[in-house]
Amino acid sequence: MELSSPRFKALVVSIGLGFWFFIITSILGIFTLEYFAIFILIIFPLMQFLSFKVSSALDIFAIYNTKFFLGILFIFVISIYGIFFRVLRIDLLRLKKRDDTYWLEMEQLKTTRLLKGY
């Protein structure tokens, strides 16, 4: 973001603020397209107008917004994988020897099927 133009930074921060407005108002149950349009019509020109004056602040906001969003995305993806593995009864660490898991038993594999990888 340090090499980006101030106008681009303002655009990205406006989109980020719009995204968080959508998330927060949806969670609170008060989201409407009219409120969202008003918010965007106020924030976008304001950020573009102030872009050169608050360029470093836009940098800081964009960095923290990205870290926060990627952190939430990471937690969500790991949770989804955990749920899928639990539902499909996949034991990644092979901690339990059960009949209803989908792992192949290494003792059942023939050594003639195993090839060297060069």
Structure tokens at 15: 């989109």
Residues 6 or more apart from 106 whose CB is under 8 A from it?
A: none
Of residues 73 and 101, more confidently modeled: 73
Domain ranges of the chain: 1-118
Q: What angle do CA 113, 85, 76 make, to 5 degrees?
A: 130
Q: What is the pLDDT of residues 74-105, one digit of tens each?
A: 888 888 888 887 787 776 666 666 665 555 55
Q: Quick check: 7 pLDDT over 80?
A: yes
Q: What is the pLDDT of residues 13-56, one digit of tens each?
A: 888 889 899 999 999 999 999 999 999 999 999 988 888 888 88
Structure tokens at 84: 């899928």
Residue 10: pLDDT band with limits 50, 70, 90: confident
Buried b (16+ CB within 10 A) or exposed e, 45-59: eebeeebeebbeebb
Question: What's residue 24's pLDDT?
Answer: 92
**Do residues 69 and 83 touch, judged by C-beta distance below 8 A?**
no
